[in-house]
Structure 1
Amino acid sequence: MVEPGTPGLARVVEAFSASVLAADGGLDRPRLGALVFGNPERLAVLNGIIHPLVRERAAALAAAAPKGAVLVQDIPLLVETGQGPSFHLVLVVDAPEDLRLQRMIEHRKMSADDARSRIAAQASREDRLAAADVVLDNAGTKDELRDAVDLLWRHRLAPYAENLAKRRIAARPGGPVLTAANPGWAQQAARIAARLLAVAPREVLAVDHIGSTAVPGLDAKDVLDLQLTVRDLAAADRLEPLLAEAGFPRWPGTGPDNPKPGQPDPAAWDKRVHGSADPDRAVNLHVRAAGSPGWRYALCFRDWLRDDAAARADYLTEKRKAARRHGVDKSTAAYAADKEGWFTGYAAPRMEEWATHTGWQPPSYAAP
């Protein structure tokens, strides 16, 4: 976007003078970098020129790509510009800061001070890793990195692309396997929630992490449960193709929730269920109407378990019993059904007592 003769280069020269031009009329990038890095005001001016042009060009290239193509965008400032939720996956190529400094000095011929100012002007390593669905270790050789990319392509990216093209949920063979609580589940759920919120901001009221993986310290299947809140199920149906495009096709043949005590009307428990097309991150996405009994139950149950250690212990005992009974199953369907009696007969009354005692109330949403 800043090649000789382009409007982008003309605007850069207008903002920073002809001193940023090289002898051949092209952009002198080291000279420009020395002017803007370490100077937030000048950097903001440059970004205001370049970023809109780059995004416009990227959108045009994406629109012209063949159907089913895998599009990879290399965005150095993805975290700083908040673009992560726009992509199915965010991949970060990572190396320790001392090694990055060494490479910038050796390969880009930067001074140590210039290299440090360049790093200081960007998101921290911690923030980049927090935004990443995939982290590739770039502390080794180029061949090692290339092998890691090949492995990622074969086992995740290519199958994911095929699932997206076919509107297919990634296969999950085998029965229930409980794993130790993973502190990373919350961060993974937050990244996915941000993508879902971006699908249709006027239709999606909220996305909440629910289920066992939302309860710190509770062992669970390595499957994230998320609840997407809409005003009614007509909105859920309008969202169906958009969610599929975002990587969450609808589960075929899914019906209403099982009614809980005091809610005999099955229709009141109706929902839509979607799953993840990503073969490396299993997700159950429950789309429910705000105020419906199933929506309330999911949020109250999560908060009860978070607050009550005895309830967590009781639920873990039940989960382990059901997992033992269904460990050789070919799916987790029977495992889930086996726990329904515990939810309705044991958990529901105790959860409601807790809600009354603590004054728990579900969230409310203002009219748009």
Structure 2
Amino acid sequence: MHSVLSSFALLGAPISCEPFGSGHINGTQLVVCEGGARYVLQHINTHVFREPEALMRNIELVTAHLRKKVSDPRGVLNLVPALDGKSFVVENGAYWRVYELVENSVCHQSADASLFYESAVAFGRFQNQLADFPAEQLTETIPHFHDTPVRFAAFQRAVAEDAAGVSHLIQREIDFVLSREAFTHTLTDLQGADELPLRVTHNDTKINNVLFDAETNKALCVIDLDTVMPGLSVNDFGDAIRFGASTAAEDERDLSRVHFDLGLYKAYVKGYLSTCGESLTKMEKVMLPVGAKMMTLECGMRFLADHLAGDVYFHVSRKGQNLDRARTQFRLVEEMEQHWAQMHEIVEETD
């Protein structure tokens, strides 16, 4: 039993503490107490999140705001306070937090159209419920996380340095990114001109960051709030499409299996706008397809930059995996460009 548990206001003494979930960033354990209360204990990864107290402050502010907007207590994560009143405990330099377990819920790793729609409902609702929250109150816990021009500049440095000595083998992929430099400025330029508002964004809008009711499969709440910070709503939308509307795994080697599924895109647009359409501006809606392409291109260039650097950031289990990841993203970008008019039409028709 982890000694840190005695520092949290749990209902009953802990009787078990076992590994839980499939997350890769934070160590997560399921805690069961006498009387049946169940909790989720997490060790915050301070190698990834360098400002854990600012991160926890973000989560406190956002969950408190969301709690005012939900009727089902399972509609928002609930932090368990430490005995000193804080939302976290520091033990031997390590940061820990505890959430109440969201009972009768399930997490899915992949989705068909109906589940993808439900995940869109959840992330749209999250955006809508936080539309009146002043995003500037939140700390940018990972600076320039979705600042695509900054990511592009980092890519250019990776090409110039060519630490792994592979640039001559992947010139086609490098040129693919370089030829889209002007596009990378689209959203940041609009934000700079005050045409896209600063929002509270989740920044990791995969389906496995939504909890669903175990019986009905209806979306309950959004989880994994560590990357909640100020950002653009279209990037949250876009990251969900990048990951969820692909027909293949992110590191698929056979590109003939990688396609942008317009049907899944349509399902997500419908679900997303059903819950946040009224709170988004006209420009945000117009830019939804741009967000999808932007996040896919950005992710691809990050994978390719890491391949050029020698696989120093993203974990790889085999040689060339980051290159394969980059190629799948670029294939999706190409197909989005081929369906560009349809992507915009779907948004217009849904709205």
Which is higher, the Rg of structure 1 or of structure 2? 1
- Fold-level match, TM-score > 0.5? no
Give TM-score, length-normalised by structure 2: 0.30
Give TM-score, length-normalised by structure 1: 0.29
